[in-house]
Each structure stands twice: as structure tokens, then as C-alpha cells.
Structure 1
Amino acid sequence: MDITIYHNARCGTSRNTLAAIRGAGHEPQVVDYLAHPPSREQLREMIAAAGLGVRDAIRGKEAVYAELGLDGVDDEALLDAMVAHPILINRPFVVTPKGVRLCRPFERVHEIL
């Protein structure tokens, strides 16, 4: 199965999701999204495919969120901020032929394996 995980090795949820994928017998493509963030359009598509709103996919507790004054801005401004500052992208997103999930909690990955 073709699986991609947008991964942050410093995040416990992301590490647990990766371990669950491997535990199910799959070796995913691991994308360090902080170093190689998805494009704006890829991000928009993943969020929509996961059934989320853009605000659901942003890490509102990151310091840069407050620094940029992102409360109350529209989805386009949020997407711009997420591409410019990938630490704002909630994690981990997992993409499989069966769908896309923001795997918080990590067990959500089982829905698409």
C-alpha cells in the first residue's frame, strides 16, 4: 500500500502513528514536513480530504500563531501562514489509497490502513 506520513520525529503522536503503520506491516514514505512542507495546494487537498476545516489543521498553541495574529483571519491567510511556517501544521497527516487522516489520536491511522 502506498502510504505517506507527514512526520515530526519530535512529536510523540507522530512517532506512535509511524509505529502503528509499521506495526501493520507497511513501510510508508516519511516526509519531514518541517524541512519539506507540502505545497499550499497539497495542504488544502489533504485538509479537505480529511474532512477538516483549515482552522482544525492548524496548531493554535504555537508561539508563531500568536505572533502572526491569526485569530479571526480567513482560511487563505491560515494556509499562507502554514506554508510559510510549517510548525503550524497539525500532525501527523497520513495519506493512503483509503483516505487521509489527521491522526490525533494516533489510533485514527487504523481507519485508513
Structure 2
Amino acid sequence: MKATIWHNPACGTSRKTLAILEEAPGLAVTVVEYLKAPPSAEKLAQLYRDAGITPQQGLRLRGTDAEERGLPAASDAEVLAAMAADPKLIERPLVETGKGVRLCRPQEIVREIL
């Protein structure tokens, strides 16, 4: 099975999630450092749809200016465009496998899609 993690190496939760993925037998892991290679608004929309959450639920509030910009109350399209333009607004880590997508906070949630 394959897994893709949208990862921030400076984030403890993201590092712990990556460790779980790397320990899973038979799993081929692709690591995307999303701050360097941000996903498109379309890819984010697909990830959140597949995870069963809204873009607003995938919005990182801590350490960002998302609230000052009014993003928690903005439309899906506005939130997705803001995330694509400024990837620090993306809550992490997001993991996608053949079994689904999860926003892995806490990191143990990743086990649901392994």
C-alpha cells in the first residue's frame, strides 16, 4: 500500500505520524513538505472531501493570522485559495492512503487508514 503525508518536519505531531507510517510493514511512504511544495486548492479540496471535513476544519489557527483574516467564517473557496497561497495555514499532518484521508491530530488517527 502507498501513503502520502503532507509533512512539516518542525511539527512534533507530524514527525510522530511519519514515524508510525515508516514503521508500518509494506507501506511505501511519500513525504511532501507542504511548506516547500504546497498542494493546489483543488488537491486540498479533494483531501478534505475524502477526509470528511470542511476546509475550515483543516485550517491552522495557532501561529497564523487566519482569524484576523476572517478565514474561519470564509467560504470554502476562499479558505482553499488562502491555503494554497500561504501553506502555513494548512493544519498538519494530512495523510492519504488507499483507505482514505485523515488529518492526523492526534497522530494515532493515522492508524484508521493503514
Residue type of the partner of 1:55? Q
Residue type of the partner of 1:12? G
Q: Matches of 2:30 and 2:44 in 1, distance apart?
A: 17
The within-5 A match list for 1:1-113 is 1-25=1-25, 26-113=27-114
Q: Matches of 1:13 and 1:71 in 2, distance apart?
A: 22
CA RMSD of aligned residues (A): 1.2
User: What is the CA-CA distance between 1:60 and the residue it aligns to?
Assistant: 1.7
**Structure 1: which 4+ aligned runs deviate by more than 4 Å?**
none
The normalised TM-score by structure 1 is: 0.93
1:67-93 Cα shifts (integer Å, max 9, x gaps): 533242211111111011100101000
Q: Matches of 2:101 and 2:75 in 1, distance apart?
A: 23
Unaligned runs of 5+ in 2: none
Aligned in 2, Cα 1:80/1:11: closer, same or farther, shift over 3 Å?
same
Greater mean alpha carbon deviation, residues 93-102 or residues 54-63: 54-63
Residue type of the partner of 1:94? V
The normalised TM-score by structure 2 is: 0.92
Aligned length, in residue pairs: 113
User: What is the CA-CA distance between 1:97 and the residue it aligns to?
Assistant: 0.5
Q: SS of the residue aligned with 1:3? A: strand
